[in-house]
Structure 1
């Protein structure tokens, strides 16, 4: 009986804090998950102060305050995605200094106040699929600890250099699915640890030669589904760690001589769905494709858009005579 009593008391001690209504909790209530659409308020009642991971997703939650989060001072992972949040208070993270990951995917956020992310030692920040039109350098403190920043799926038309200057530890930056039309020449100069950069599905028409010259650890570069018409010959210079380069679905007609020789020797590339013009200027690309077929995803989809006689032909299959190269040599 005494043993049973001790076990009962131990169980009661662990369950001193009941699980909040409309939520489920781990045995020790350190992980809390709330995913009921009928949840409209922050689940304060029953929330253990020992909570380290809190996930509130696909609910009717419309507000969260610093007071709410002060109930869980040990929190290190907060997921608030697919709710109805339209704004956040500037002191939101003041009571959770240990917070490492904050995910706000799929809310209705438009504007965020200054210093919103300067009160916690965040490493991972996800603001994906909101309605943010402008990013503000004042969101962060100088020398912010953020390493992973996801701003994809918003309404951004630009990214200020001042913001990225405050993020020297950044390893992954996702700006895909926005309306970016250009990158400031010095935008990425302070990102010496950047390994993954996603600029896919924007409106970029060109890139400066030195755009990535300070990002020598870059291994994954996603530029697909933009409006790029041409690329500087030295764009990839120094990127010896490059593993993946995606350039598909742009408006590229040629690649400059030596372009694909500038990066690392074994990176994988996607070049399909560009309007390649198959004349003498395509010679570099043709030779590179034939020399490195194992480095090209969807090689058979790298095809000519013109001239009419070569339309839909695979670039790698073209002969010198078809490109007019023999004629040029004889001339």
Structure 2
């Protein structure tokens, strides 16, 4: 009997210790726990203030989304010093303090999608460990090189859905390791000739949904690792013959929904067999200047997505698939 009572008291004591040592979780948030570290998600719409109480000391991922949080400081984040991933989606943030990341030295991913950010202070993203930065769908009019330290370790930068009218070469000169750059759906009208010269590791570049009318022949000369290039939904009228020269790794080229009437001879030559292109939605003029594109489409039909939508516009032949035409119909001699 004594032994049974002792076992009962021991079990009760153990339960008490387990309860006492149970991990904490801040109010209005949910937490999950695993050996690598805790993950905390806060998505209550009426969350207005960042609580510095209740966060697990080993929090490595924090996601605050669709809330009315309008301010966050370095003091707030000092409660989660092991943080590696921080997501602040649609939280009504209008600004960030310059020292925001000073107490989270292990942070490698920061996502600020869907806020009201316009102007940001110098060095705000100078955290040495930061590799992925998403500033999508804010109100940023100018991306400032002063936000970053020299030789930044960022490999992924997303500035899509902002109000950028241009980008400076000095911005990307600080990012020699950049692999993915998204500038889509801004108001870019031009790219400086040397804007991308320091991006030797760049693999994916998204310039879709801007107001680009033309590109310099040397725009991508230094981006020899490019495998994905998104140029759709711009106002491109003419492309330089050497625009894609040297891009031996290019696998996807999006040119749809522009104002192209023909392509210069040689533009798509020497591409690998896995190369794919989208050309639909352009006002292609089917005359003798269509010689190069017509022959290329005929020989590489399998490399073209939505081939049936690559059609003629203008006088003469209307809305007819280019590959279905004969050389005679295009006015080509000896075709």
- 2:25 aligned residue: 19
Equivalent in the alignment of 1:33: 41
Q: Distance in 2 between matches of 1:260 and 1:4?
A: 75
Equivalenced residue count is: 325
CA distance in structure 1 between the aligned counterparts of 2:284 and 2:175, rounded to whole angstroms: 38
Aligned-pair distance for 1:30? 1.1
Q: How far apart are 1:44 and its partner, in Å?
A: 1.8
- Cα deviations by residue, 1:219-251 (Å, 9 ceiling, x for unpaired): 000000001000011111111111100000000
Q: Which residue of 2 aligns with 1:323?
A: 330
Note if contact 1:238-1:263 (Cα within 8 Å) is conserved in structure 2: no
Q: List structure 1 runs of 4+ shifted beyond 6 angstroms.
A: none
Q: Which has the larger radius of gyration?
A: 2
State the secondary structure of the residue aligned to 1:5.
helix
- Candidates 144, 152, 155, aligned match of 2:160: 152
- The equivalent position to 1:141 in structure 2, one of 149, 153, 174, is 149
Partner of 2:5: none
Once residues 114 and 74 of structure 1 are traced to their aligned partners in structure 2, the CA distance between those partners, rounded to angstroms, is 24
Check whether the contact 1:198–1:221 (CA below 8 A) recurs between aligned residues. Answer: yes
Tell whether the 8 Å contact from 1:231 to 1:256 is kept in structure 2 after alignment: yes
Q: 1:263 to 1:165 in 2, by over 3 A?
A: farther
C-alpha contact 2:128 2:153 (8 A) present in aligned 1:
no
Q: Secondary structure at the match of 1:250?
A: coil
After TM superposition, give the deviation of residue 119 of structure 1 in Å. 2.8
Residue 76 (structure 1) aligned with residue 84 (structure 2): yes
How far has the Cα of 1:209 moved from its partner? Answer: 0.8
Alignment of 1:101-250 (within 5 A): 101-250=109-258
SS in structure 2 of the partner of residue 264 of structure 1? coil
Superposition RMSD in Å: 1.4
The CA deviation string for residues 98-150 of structure 1, in whole angstroms up to 9 with x for no partner, is 00100000000000100000134111000000000001100000000000000
The alignment partner of 2:71 has SS state of: coil
Q: In the alignment, is the contact (CA less than 8 A) between 1:234 and 1:262 conserved in 2?
A: no
| Counterpart position of 2:301 | 293
| Partner secondary structure for residue 242 of structure 1 | coil
Q: Structure 1: how far apart are the matches of 2:260 and 2:103?
A: 50
The answer to whether the 8 Å contact 2:128/2:152 transfers is: no
**Do the aligned partners of 1:188 and 1:211 also contact (CA within 8 Å) in 2?**
yes
Structure 1 unaligned regions, length at least 5: none
In structure 1, distance between residues paired with 2:293 and 2:12: 77
